[in-house]
Structure 1
């Protein structure tokens, strides 16, 4: 017999607790972005080390996704959400007391684990607790909270570091306060899963059924390109905007990074107005144009072109990501949908880590301008390949 938690009909506002917690945790994962120049000056490390710091975060996310991806189905949503917030709080404490590069790496790894736990669990919790009238838009709401939190992190930290004292301590102290509120709200939220008496917490295997591969490959390519662009803005944007585009204001840098994530959310909301068969191609084309403009902006040292490309790339990433997820889910057998979706997220988070490490390596040899232009060109090329593959898929499959 399963052990039942307090599973009962949720109140109309019950989903706000997990939604706020989701926003708070994801905000914390991007909070260090405008702080990297301060850490770099304090510890004296190179641009390559910044990309390694970000890659360590992505490794934490991927590890948590693979290991704990099915745990909330058995243990319940609320225990996993509380665990994720406790781990996020632990990362804040490491940042607060840390005084070395090793501590910074440890803090980012722990932060990645918290994000990996939350990415799947909080998305499902928000959808399950949404009022019936909101069910059609529940997935979009969960994604908007996710991207909104990712976007607010650089903006909040950028404002604190520009206009308030002790920005390193203040940023993490503020995040700890947000987590405390989130824990209280999640504690009071109803549980939606009956905990199983017999638990199977083995690591899940990632597999792509043969009938899904025709859709999965182009969706994964555009997903890879889109998340690589997000990773670029989340890790290297301060360096490019300061040293290539001549923008010293960290608050403005944080705002630009924030707008990329907001554009992603807008793109996901707009794709519902496009015929299903054109959603993935539109995401590919928009991301391709945006990446090209980012490269052109870096090459010409044009802030306007760079920011225009950032907004278009974010929009294209949002359209392509949601369309790809929808196409993959529709093509997957019901009993393998979770594993296929997890595989897609693993591709996405690999894209957040491997390309930025490549950027760091290339920067030390080629310089920022050549590296940034080349990265944008490769992202555009991936989108072009994905677009060709998407257009070859029978219309009914997308």
Structure 2
């Protein structure tokens, strides 16, 4: 479990490596806000395509081969970024390859972590995703701020981490090859399907996870450019604080909830995301950096439970292969919606201006989260009522129920008396 978690962490780390450099790429390569949004969202193209493939097939049973290959694919993206000169084409291609690497690692890593850690590893894929995105952004910002040749150093650092992760993963896979071969067999139908859910529960779980990931996408890919333009922030590292604050809050929240075994209801996470969006929109409107960062903090606090709780709901009771397929399908939906929102933010900023466009897209996002929070709360109440009715029916049908035993005893006594 630690080796597969570390490998997935390193792949996720690379997804945010070029993010603080995007405003710099915009100036050096003459990119428009829409081009910057496309460079950020190109990551979702490779991500969604490969996740859809893994979700529709049972390729996750080859997790022992797919996860090391994904690490190598992430390293190849670093080589593409290092080769960028005056043409942004390699930036777009590298982002697509990075997305494919993350997608290829998601299902296999989820399966291997479940095999290695049991139920403790079921939701760990969400924790590692949030933590990897958080630390990747922090590492990249630190390199951009203080390291020489920041446009190259961050990729050299990630290449070294890929080599270390590959070595640790291969050692672990070789040592546990017999147990993994047995655990990654295609499960029986009843294990593969898991418990039945209401369609409303499934929809709100997917919507909650997507809303959580949109918060990170907006904070990392959209708000830094808006802060440079609307809040007159001159430093790229300061502009990247929006993403850092959001992802750090999400990572700390997720690790705290996991360590204490607490599962936050979905409607609470969505309500916090609504509040965060309102504060961010107000901060952009007034051009105040600190108000925007406060909104990003709230968004991070809501992102973690929204994303993790949705995955728990959808993967409850599944085996290793089905866990990998479900994690791939879940991530596919969440990343797809996040990519659409990021592109929508870039398009809106190009037509309405960066300040007004960002306010519009963040306001629409906050409204959507508010509506989803009410739907999730209603679905939870329906679920509680259904569970209560089922418990009463099961209790009435139980022959060991005290009321049933007393009724049978009375009938027997009346028969004996007659």
TM-score bucket (shorter structure)? 0.7 to 0.9
Once the 2 structures are TM-superposed, how far is the Cα of residue 237 of structure 1 from its aligned partner? 2.7
CA 1:267–1:196: 2 relative to 1, 3 Å: closer
Query: What TM-score results when the alignment is normalised by the length of structure 2?
Result: 0.80
SS of structure 2 residue aligned to 1:220 = helix
Look up the match of 1:110: 97
Q: Deviation string for 1:295-335 (max 9, x for gaps)?
A: 11111112121111111111111111122222233499999
Once the 2 structures are TM-superposed, how far is the Cα of residue 336 of structure 1 from its aligned partner? 7.1
CA 1:20–1:198: 2 relative to 1, 3 Å: closer
Look up the match of 2:405: none
CA 1:241–1:54: 2 relative to 1, 3 Å: same
Q: Does 1:347 align with 2:333?
A: yes
CA 1:336–1:139: 2 relative to 1, 3 Å: closer
Look up the match of 1:96: 82
C-alpha distance in 2 between matches for 1:221 and 1:377: 17
C-alpha distance in 2 between matches for 1:195 and 1:103: 41
Q: Which consecutive residues of structure 1, in runs of 5 or more, have no partner in the other structure?
A: 1-14, 200-206
After the TM superposition, which residues 152-163 of structure 1 pair with which residues of structure 2 at under 5 Å, given as runs? 152-163=135-146
Once the 2 structures are TM-superposed, how far is the Cα of residue 259 of structure 1 from its aligned partner? 2.8
Q: Which consecutive residues of structure 2, in runs of 5 or more, have no partner in the other structure?
A: 187-192, 388-418
CA 1:180–1:336: 2 relative to 1, 3 Å: closer
CA 1:389–1:255: 2 relative to 1, 3 Å: same
SS of structure 2 residue aligned to 1:247 = coil
Query: What TM-score results when the alignment is normalised by the length of structure 1?
Result: 0.84
Aligned 8 A contact 2:253 2:304 in 1:
yes
Once the 2 structures are TM-superposed, how far is the Cα of residue 74 of structure 1 from its aligned partner? 2.6
Once the 2 structures are TM-superposed, how far is the Cα of residue 127 of structure 1 from its aligned partner? 3.3
Look up the match of 1:316: 302
Q: Deviation string for 1:165-220 (max 9, x for gaps)?
A: 21111111111011011111011013453289999xxxxxxx9x995421122222
Aligned 8 A contact 1:34 1:254 in 2:
yes
Aligned 8 A contact 1:212 1:331 in 2:
no
After the TM superposition, which residues 124-135 of structure 1 pair with which residues of structure 2 at under 5 Å, given as runs? 124-130=111-117, 135=118
Q: How many residues align?
A: 371
SS of structure 2 residue aligned to 1:227 = helix
Look up the match of 2:394: none
SS of structure 2 residue aligned to 1:193 = helix
C-alpha distance in 1 between matches for 2:376 and 2:317: 14
Aligned 8 A contact 1:215 1:331 in 2:
no
Q: Over aligned residues, Cα RMSD in angstroms?
A: 3.0
C-alpha distance in 1 between matches for 2:44 and 2:60: 23
C-alpha distance in 2 between matches for 1:197 and 1:335: 6
Look up the match of 2:180: 193
CA 1:141–1:388: 2 relative to 1, 3 Å: closer
Query: 58, 61, 70: which one pairs with 1:84?
Result: 70
Look up the match of 1:241: 227
Q: Deviation string for 1:3-23 (max 9, x for gaps)?
A: xxxxxxxxxxxx332222222
Q: Does 1:73 align with 2:74?
A: no
As a proportion of its length, which structure holds more helix? 2
Look up the match of 1:268: 254
Query: 124, 127, 130: which one pairs with 1:144?
Result: 127
Aligned 8 A contact 1:31 1:171 in 2:
yes
Once the 2 structures are TM-superposed, how far is the Cα of residue 268 of structure 1 from its aligned partner? 3.1
Query: 25, 37, 40: which one pairs with 1:39?
Result: 25
Look up the match of 1:184: 167
C-alpha distance in 2 between matches for 1:225 and 1:395: 22
Aligned 8 A contact 1:270 1:319 in 2:
no
